[in-house]
Amino acid sequence: MKAILYSSDARRALHKHRNQALRLIQKIERYAQTGAGDVTQLVGSTALRLRIGDFRVIFEETAEEIRVTRIAPRGSAYD
């Protein structure tokens, strides 16, 4: 399993959306373990996007870790 590192913005988003936080964390961990999930590379960036219902998780991935930089509802994830 790859290590998962959350930015301060991502941690704040999890705290703000507490009712969805457990589901989001479980899906991120599942992706880190198996690589399963709806993941797409963002155009013009090295970042990837994981779609979890109406939420988007923006992250960078290396061979050893996943750095989650942003978690947001679909409408504001790409601002």
CATH superfamily of 3-76: RelE-like (3.30.2310.20)
User: Residue 69 in contact with residue 59, Cβ under 8 Å?
Assistant: yes
Task: Tell me what pLDDT residue 29 has.
Answer: 96
pLDDT tens digits, one per residue of 59-70: 999 999 999 999
Tokens of 31: 């992706």
User: Residue 38 in contact with residue 51, Cβ under 8 Å?
Assistant: yes
Domain boundaries, the chain: 3-76
pLDDT tens digits, one per residue of 7-60: 999 999 999 999 999 999 999 999 999 989 999 999 999 999 999 999 999 999
Task: Tell me what pLDDT residue 76 has.
Answer: 83
User: Residue 4 in contact with residue 62, Cβ under 8 Å?
Assistant: no
Q: How far apart, in whole angstroms, are the C-alpha atoms of residue 56 and residue 58?
A: 6
Q: How far apart, in whole angstroms, are the C-alpha atoms of residue 79 and residue 77?
A: 6
Task: Tell me what pLDDT residue 27 has.
Answer: 96
- Name the 3-class secondary structure at 64: coil
Global confidence as pTM: 0.91
